[in-house]
Amino acid sequence: MPRTSAPAASLAALEPYRASVQSRSLRALEWLNFFKADAQATFGPYLAIYLLSLRHWRLDRIGLVMAIPGIVTIAAQTPAGALVDEIRRKRELVALSGAVIVGACLQIVHGRGLAAVILAQCLFSVAAITLAPAISALTMGLVGHRGFAGQMGRNEMISHAGAVAGAVGAGLLGYWPGQQSIFYLAALMSVGAAAAAMAIRPSDIDHGLARESVVASGGMEHIAAPRALFADRRVVIFAASIVLFHLANAAMLPLVCEMLSRRRPEFSALYASACILVAQAVMIPVAWTAGRRCSQWGRKPVFLVAFAALPVRAALFAMLSKPALLVSAQALDGLSAGIFGVVAVVMMADLARGTGRFNLLQGAIATCVAIGGSLSNLIAGVIVQKAGFTVGFLALGAMALFALGFFYGEMPETRPAAPVATQVPAVSR
């Protein structure tokens, strides 16, 4: 439906390079990515350990709490993306999400009982699913199409660096002075994320670009109906590809950690941390490279590398037995996830271009991620219980080969015909 837009220029006139964007806003965007990853890395992964070792909860209660993020994501991610499209105060939305995470962290430490922890998990999950589309929208609104792929690569590189810093900080704080300190660290990092969001200059954000709308003559902003977006065959194929990707991928890390824990239970936490850190360390250069290469080579060839790494990783997990080799194979997870975090968002921007529904599409695809991940853990768990880890990994590898073939055969290239620049746009100093 048509809406009045503040800028009267066309989208094409607004797109090139966004040279007026201030360096302060781009620096603030990068700090935002660092702090939000740090907070997320220190909250979710360590909650189960905290509840088990310090609160002495039963495993069934912990399992219930840990299932909440997936449930919330499936139910609320698409509406959250639609909200990001509609609201112009995206900086304030990000800052509010950071404040909610602070409250969730404090609730974990000071709350008592199952209901209190479930409430904290719900608050954290809602805030976390809002952050991703809001940050992507801010990025597009700041740098425009030509700078988007390069800046998204930089965002993800910094985000993975923040996740590594968060994991190291959480490990040190968990050992000394204690596991409660991990959640205070997450709260502090969320305050940093909120402050970084508010440091972005409102005048540097183009809200039409932020939702991929087209400003027609007369200053009217055209917003497509949601059904028009999902009527695009490419969107349906892309969504199916994302479900298949995570159907093959999501269960691999939990299974390898479980396999290592059964063999050497005294080193279970160390192995889990090593697997996470190896993958995150690889994601840092991969994300930066993916942002540049998907503009030069096209989105599909780069994304195919992420798909191709999945069956190789599954085969290695099925064949290897030494812990050091299993942990090393997690480098392939860093390759796949590093590419996925950048190229998937860039492809969504391509698919939503001109519709004004960029963030709605991000929410819908995140729902596909949650569905694929949930099914992956369910199916792999049943297979491993009945046939063992080797068969479980081979089954995931077969799913990965199918996902690779489907994406290669069905998904068209989404990069615009005209070449786009790979560098981040020039900024005034």
* pLDDT tens per residue across span 263-294: 776 666 677 778 888 988 999 999 999 999 99
User: Which pLDDT belongs to residue 268?
Assistant: 63
User: Which pLDDT belongs to residue 215?
Assistant: 65
Task: Tell me the Cα Rg of the chain.
Answer: 21
3-class secondary structure, 84: helix
**Tokens 């304030």, located at residue:** 92
DSSP class of 4: E
Instruction: Report the distance separating Cα 16 and Cα 144, nearest Å.
Output: 7
Instruction: Report the distance separating Cα 185 and Cα 89, nearest Å.
Output: 27
Domain spans, the chain:
19-203, 227-411
> Phi and psi dihedrals of 287, rounded to 5?
-60, -45
Angle in degrees, CA 68, 71, 74, rounded to 5? 145
Query: Who's near 97: CB < 8 A, 6+ residues apart?
Result: 127, 128, 130, 131, 134, 194
Angle in degrees, CA 153, 130, 341, rounded to 5? 25
**Tokens 């209660």, located at residue:** 61
List the chain residues with pLDDT less than 70.
1-22, 42, 44-45, 59, 174-175, 215-220, 265-269, 418-429
N-term to C-term CA, the chain: 38
User: Which pLDDT belongs to residue 419?
Assistant: 47
- Check residue 17 and give left, alpha or beta (phi > 0: left; psi -120 to 50: alpha): left
DSSP labels, 265-303: GGGHHHHHHHHHHHHHHHHHHHHHHHHHHHHHT-HHHHH
Task: Using CB atoms within 10 Å of the CB of residue 197, give its burial: 0 to 12 exposed, 13 to 18 middle, 19+ buried.
Answer: buried
Count of helices and strands (H, E) across the chain = 16, 3
User: Which pLDDT belongs to residue 93?
Assistant: 97
Instruction: Report the distance separating Cα 141 and Cα 18, nearest Å.
Output: 9
Q: Do domains 19-203 and 227-411 have the same CATH topology?
A: yes
- Compute CA distances 268 → 98, 126, 256, 280, 331, whole Å: 31, 30, 11, 19, 19
User: Which pLDDT belongs to residue 116?
Assistant: 93
pLDDT digits 0-9 by tens, 256-266: 887 887 777 66
Q: Which fold has domain 19-203?
A: Growth Hormone; Chain: A; (1.20.1250)
Q: Six-digit token pair at 157?
A: 């590189």
Instruction: Report the distance separating Cα 336 and Cα 341, nearest Å.
Output: 9
Pairing of strands 3-4, 220-222: antiparallel
Instruction: Report the distance separating Cα 142 and Cα 140, nearest Å.
Output: 5
User: Which pLDDT belongs to residue 234?
Assistant: 96
- Compute CA distances 185 → 43, 84, 168, 199, 278, whole Å: 9, 27, 11, 21, 22
User: Which CATH homologous superfamily contains domain 227-411?
Assistant: MFS general substrate transporter like domains (1.20.1250.20)
